[in-house]
């Protein structure tokens, strides 16, 4: 057990696999059973599907209320990752680091043991996607990170960031294509790719059908749609799938802790795997 009391309750979908250290399995309610090579996403949403609130510095925290169960799930998913992929907007609004122990410090030893047992580096690499190249200087979380940008963006990456991170140019367009981002990470040997968004990056990954699993935590709050367009965002800002396009998910497991739901969907992909 970790100190998460009560632990997370499994409603259905316990994988028959023993792939987590005992303390983590007891708290999560069984194994994780993530494929060794997978692109997976973790988001917290309000009941009405809002994941980001413009003007809020860290709107995910506003939505989750920093619920310990959600913090634990976020930490576990980071502990399983080779790389955590985020957009520059999320980097600007959150301090980081994007590690398991930063999300749930009380289980640090168990997360470390899990990573060691799976032969992973002590912490996942951070990858930041930016079109503008305007990645804030002087941030500890940038050390050793990978900055993925456009030709134009590369010219604006500050010298401090260049000195402390690796900068990779992925194309000459205005934005990076979601599948190119994933390909660039795979080409560097990252197999378990976790994205924590935010919504604009997630939209590009979903449009490319590049996300294989979505871990969606539903916080028991109603956020409201906002008074003006762009005030609030769901997972696909500025995109209309239905009714023309249907991207479906298969529910693989459901968990709860109190009134928080932790859903795991397998999403249709382009088959490139």
Ligand X SMILES: NC(=O)c1ccc[n+]([C@@H]2O[C@H](COP(=O)([O-])OP(=O)(O)OC[C@H]3O[C@@H](n4cnc5c(N)ncnc54)[C@H](OP(=O)(O)O)[C@@H]3O)[C@@H](O)[C@H]2O)c1
Cβ distance 81 to 193 under 8 Å?
A: yes
* Cβ-based nearer residue to ligand X, 23 or 74: 74
Considering only 123, 167, 176, 223, the residue that binds ligand X (CB under 6 A) is 176
Q: Which of 90, 59, 49, 80 is nearest to 261 (CA)?
A: 49
Question: Within positions 202 to 241, which residues make up the interface with ligand X, using CB under 6 A?
Answer: 204
Q: Is 269 helix (H, G, I), strand (E, B) or coil?
A: coil
Considering only 164, 200, 255, 264, the residue that binds ligand X (CB under 6 A) is 200
Q: Give 105's DSSP letter.
A: G
Cβ distance 260 to 67 under 8 Å?
A: yes
**Residue 132: how many other CB atoms lie within 10 Å:** 12
Distance CA(75)–CA(55), nearest Å, equals: 26
* Cβ-based nearer residue to ligand X, 23 or 194: 194
Q: Give 106's DSSP letter.
A: G
Question: Within positions 81 to 100, which residues make up the interface with ligand X, using CB under 6 A?
Answer: 86-90, 93
The piece of 51-59, 76-84, 106-114, 119-127 that touches ligand X (CB under 6 A) is 51-59
Count of residues engaged in binding ligand X, rule: CB under 6 A: 29
Considering only 4, 76, 129, 184, the residue that binds ligand X (CB under 6 A) is 129
Residues in contact with ligand X by the rule CB under 6 A: 43-44, 51-52, 56, 58-60, 63, 86-90, 93, 129-132, 134, 175-176, 196-201, 204
């Amino acid at each position: 057990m970790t100190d998460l009391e009560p632990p997370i309750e499994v409603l259905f979908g316990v994988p028959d696999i023993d792939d987590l250290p005992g303390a983590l399995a007891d708290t999560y309610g069984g194994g994780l059973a993530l494929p060794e090579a997978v692109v997976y996403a973790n988001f917290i949403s309000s009941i009405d599907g809002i994941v980001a609130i413009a003007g809020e510095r860290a709107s995910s925290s506003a939505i989750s209320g920093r619920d310990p169960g959600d913090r634990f799930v976020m930490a576990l998913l980071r502990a399983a990752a080779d790389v955590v992929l985020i957009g520059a907007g999320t980097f600007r609004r959150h301090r980081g680091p994007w590690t398991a122990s930063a999300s749930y410090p009380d289980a640090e030893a168990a997360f470390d043991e899990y990573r060691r047992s799976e032969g992973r580096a002590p912490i996942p690499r951070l990858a930041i996607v930016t079109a503008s190249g305007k990645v804030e200087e002087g941030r500890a979380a940038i050390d050793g990170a990978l900055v993925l940008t456009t030709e134009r963006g590369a010219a604006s990456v500050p010298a401090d960031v260049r000195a402390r991170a690796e900068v990779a140019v992925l194309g000459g367009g205005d934005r990076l294509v979601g599948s190119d981002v994933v390909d660039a990470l795979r080409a560097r040997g990252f197999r378990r790719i976790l994205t924590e968004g935010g919504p604009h990056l997630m939209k590009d990954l979903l449009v490319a059908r590049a996300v294989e699993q979505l871990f969606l935590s539903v916080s028991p709050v109603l956020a409201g749609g906002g008074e003006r367009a762009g005030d609030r965002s769901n997972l696909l800002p500025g995109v209309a799938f239905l009714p023309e396009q249907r991207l479906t998910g298969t529910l693989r497991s459901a968990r709860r802790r109190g009134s928080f739901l932790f859903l795991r969907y397998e999403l249709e992909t382009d088959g490139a795997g």
